[in-house]
Structure 1
């Protein structure tokens, strides 16, 4: 009998077909959200032994509705704000994350954001499509990545991949992290550890790569933004609430910052009209930094490999301890 797997994010059929293309169909049956209603969600949760989660939160009510649930697999790594871990722990339901592909995908997106904000790419592209020519408009304010100082806040898997890619730009890379990084890794990635205050004051680009926790909520607030180098660029491909959006909007209006690249927002989807939409030096993307076909194929192969390990009684990879 095939085990029922629920993908707990409403997507299109092309994406569901991508999942099925790597899913062992002799062992698993994929359940998918079609209308995304609460009733449909509860009905499918009640059938599933395995739930795959991502950016959309799996709440305590979801866990309670999943009466046959044995395993939750996160397609990324940011489970802190997307999974009701207390409810899983109470029912002894196991949880694992899937870092494969995330680090590389988010790192590429981060570099793209730095380049796109620095060159005002979104605005220039939009304007040119309207017939407006801005060949000389930003020559006094556009910034390049080459030779700049980049500060990485959070030097885990993703932060390290960003640093690796910065080497080719001849950038000076500094970072801050709560964990001490081995010297040989620092040397390999040509990165130096500093305090958050020093990082904010010295960086031309500040990029965030931390999980959302009580400690990181609004880590970048008015005080932090005021510390940043005038004209610096802020990139957030972590979690929206790591940044106080009200403080960031104020900093942008006051032209203290040179720009911002945002893949994540305090409320997702963000309100319409988006409060950042009118800034010509802001680039916005819909929380899809690791969301390429290549990354998704890697992830779902590993997700089903981990599911096989679990149901065969073997040790899973990247399991999260809920004790």
Structure 2
């Protein structure tokens, strides 16, 4: 039975449910419930996967919660799956049986690929279907706010528009066209505008590609600047966080929540932001300081906010963001269909199976 040592991420740990016969029954039940939204047949699907990939089903799956735990478990590892744990010379020296490395992201900076090649151990990036869905959701929120499609949804009469504060009335048709007789002001173009991406990682890169298709200028910020070839590939220019907010028409947040990113964006950035800026957050709410965001909405400095992640989930009926018409909120659905997750799990299991079989 192969041994898989994996980073104990809340998504990756599904591998233990699918492949490890000793997985805790409570966890199996919890994942069946999690997938039931779109896949009520999840238990049957797991069984099909086990039959399809006998090289890794069954497997002993070891979940590790830190780099140190990961290193301690490598002695028996046939394959590893990591998201941001490092696999370098030291880790490879601790893993005499290692045959395959799966990174759960496209960014391979946490893997010493030269050291892996020297030991003839394949190390693969992973293009997550889920990340595409999350990026799509971010872009859809940007467009909904730019085009005011949610704010004006089903307001088709002069009376209903006026009730919402719009000065709707027809134009003099003897002389002009009648488009936008609703007199909705502030509709923005994507074309020619500037998108600032906070974190040009796996999800942010999809968003950058779509922004390029709309002929938007793309700037980005993160802890470390990307190599010039990647900047060229995504047509993105590196700037500071403050400059990004001062010059962007749209900002999309794509960094993980940790000690260095909690409260990363606050009054300093929001008060000096380009007037009317639209901010979309599908990462984690606490990356933006709540009170500072509310204040910027109240003053009008921020022209719109799209949120799929919230300061409390499930939320409250008196959530302070609800009264703002220029805020679009969805209930943490950016990840899309659970089928996306199942596709990712099977793709990863297939990679591991083939990687182990090659040895």
TM-score (norm 1): 0.69
Q: Could you tell me which residue of structure 2 aligns to residue 231 of structure 1?
A: 276
Q: 1:117 aligns with which of 145, 154, 158?
A: 145
CA contact (8 A) 1:23 1:300 kept: no
Which residue does the alignment assign to 1:24? 47
The separation in 1 between residues aligned to 2:183 and 2:297, in whole angstroms, is 16
Q: Which has the larger radius of gyration?
A: 2
Specify the alignment match of 2:160 in structure 1: 132
Cα distance in 2 between the residues matched to 1:150 and 1:241: 21
What does 1:134-213 correspond to in 2, within 5 Å?
A: 136=181, 139-213=184-258
Give runs of aligned pairs for residues 282-293 of structure 1, distance below 5 A.
282-293=327-338
Matches within 5 A, 1:275-286: 275-286=320-331
Deviations 1:57-88 (A, max 9, x none): xxxxxxxxxxxx9444xxxxxxxxxx965896
Measure the CA separation in 2 of the matches of 1:261 and 1:246: 16
Shift of the alpha carbon at 1:198? 1.0
SS of the equivalent of 2:150 reads helix
Q: What TM-score comes out, normalization by structure 2 length? A: 0.63
Give the paired residue count.
Answer: 265
1:108 aligns with 2:126: no
Greater shift, 286-295 or 238-247, is seen at 286-295
Q: Give the superposed CA RMSD.
A: 3.5
- Say whether the 8 Å CA contact 2:263–2:286 is kept in structure 1: yes
Conserved 8 A contact 1:19-1:300: no
Give the distance between the partners of 1:273 and 1:306, measured in 2 at CA: 47
Aligned residue in 1 for 2:21: 3
Deviation at 1:296, TM superposition (A): 2.7
Change (3 A) 1:190 1:284: same
For 2:254 and 2:49, the matched residues in 1 are separated by 38
1:76 maps to none
- 1:179-221: CA deviations, max 9, x gaps? 2212222122211111111111000001111011111001111
Any gaps of 5 or more consecutive residues in structure 1? 29-48, 51-68, 73-82, 316-323
SS in 2 for 1:163: helix
- 1:250 aligns to 2:295 (yes or no): yes
> Aligned to 1:24, what secondary structure does the other structure show?
helix
Unaligned stretches of 5+ residues in structure 2: 1-18, 52-57, 75-79, 84-103, 106-127, 167-179
> How far apart are residue 23 of structure 1 and its match?
2.2
CA distance in 1, matches of 2:346, 2:331: 24
Say which SS state the counterpart of residue 233 (structure 1) adopts.
strand
